[in-house]
Amino acid sequence: MDDLQFRRSILADPKSRDDAIYAAIKNDPAKQKFVQETEHLDNKIAQAMNIPVPDDLVNKLILHQTLASHQQQKSKTRVRLAMAASVALVMGLTANFMMFSSTYKNLADYAIAHVNYEAKHFSNTAEPTVTLASLNEKMAVFKGSFDSTFGTLIFADYCRFDGNKSLHLVFQGQSSPVNVFILPDDKDLEFVANFEDAKLRGKSLHFNHSNIVVVGDKNEPIKQWQERVNKNITWSI
């Protein structure tokens, strides 16, 4: 047996001891040392692989897998809930948008729908909280200002009127709130000077770049409110 064949046989099976192996190592100290080192390495590998398995390892692995699956399911549930909430929000916004959408072709229809939709949020007995300074700060967006509040102003804030940024003012009326809208001129909404339905009445004023719409209960003097607005407003352009 030549040296290469001897090494291959020992590496393939360190415990192999056939007649050819015995003959090769009998009078060769180098081969004997190679056999001893290979056997020693093989024993170390066997010891390293002979690690005792804990009795509860199976249970631990099952528990770990169960917890991992549960966590994954919780993550999926959170994602589904978030998606559901997002869908609900979009549907709510869509419904709100559709309520004040191109269904209304003129200022009158849109103004009445807007007032009816928000009527529950305003009380005619609410305390005035809006100053002339804060009002004119908002009016600056429309290049205008008021010389006075010309009434008890209980609300002033931006809103969306047919998708356009507008200013919604609410004043105390004789028996119910009076609404004033300052709107950018919108060619898609037909201008209507006078309008009413079963409960509300309104008047509109057209300026070069804006429209002002006054809406209130039929018992309110809407024409006087319109005159007050026209008298107290100043445009910078």
- Flag whether 143 is in a domain: yes
For residue 179, the model assigns a pLDDT of 95
Angle between helices 29-49 and 19-26 (to 10 degrees): 120
Model confidence band, residue 88 (pLDDT cutoffs 50, 70, 90): low
Model confidence band, residue 97 (pLDDT cutoffs 50, 70, 90): very low
For residue 93, the model assigns a pLDDT of 45
What's the whole-number mean pLDDT along residues 97-102?
47
- Flag whether 64 is in a domain: no
Report the alpha-carbon distance of residue 226 to residue 66 in Å, rounded: 71
For residue 86, the model assigns a pLDDT of 61
- Flag whether 17 is in a domain: yes
Instruction: Write out the residue range of the structural domain in which residue 224 sits.
Output: 107-235
Report the alpha-carbon distance of residue 148 to residue 142 in Å, rounded: 17
Domain boundary pick from 34, 49, 64: 49
User: Domain check: are 151 and 231 in the same one?
Assistant: yes
Amino acid occupying residue 29: P
CA distances from 105 to 66, 97, 108, 109, 126 (A): 59, 14, 9, 7, 33
By C-alpha distance, which of 237, 207, 225, 235 is closest to 149? 225
- Flag whether 95 is in a domain: no
**Whether the Cβ atoms of residue 209 and residue 186 lie closer than 8 Å to each other:** no
Question: DSSP labels for 142-185?
Answer: GTEEESS--S-EEEEEEEEETTEEEEEEEE--SSS-EEEEEEE-
For residue 196, the model assigns a pLDDT of 92
**Whether the Cβ atoms of residue 178 and residue 159 lie closer than 8 Å to each other:** no
User: Domain check: are 116 and 228 in the same one?
Assistant: yes
Domain boundary pick from 11, 34, 49: 49
At 193, give phi and psi (nearest 5°).
Answer: -75, -40
User: Domain check: are 121 and 226 in the same one?
Assistant: yes
Report the alpha-carbon distance of residue 65 to residue 62 in Å, rounded: 5
Domains held by the chain: number: 2
- Flag whether 136 is in a domain: yes
Model confidence band, residue 195 (pLDDT cutoffs 50, 70, 90): very high
CATH of the domain at 143: 3.30.200.100
pLDDT digits over 163-188, tens only? 888 999 999 999 999 999 999 888 77
User: Domain check: are 138 and 222 in the same one?
Assistant: yes
User: Domain check: are 113 and 227 in the same one?
Assistant: yes
Chain CA centroid to CA 124, Å: 35
pLDDT digits over 127-147, tens only? 888 999 999 999 999 999 999
For residue 94, the model assigns a pLDDT of 46
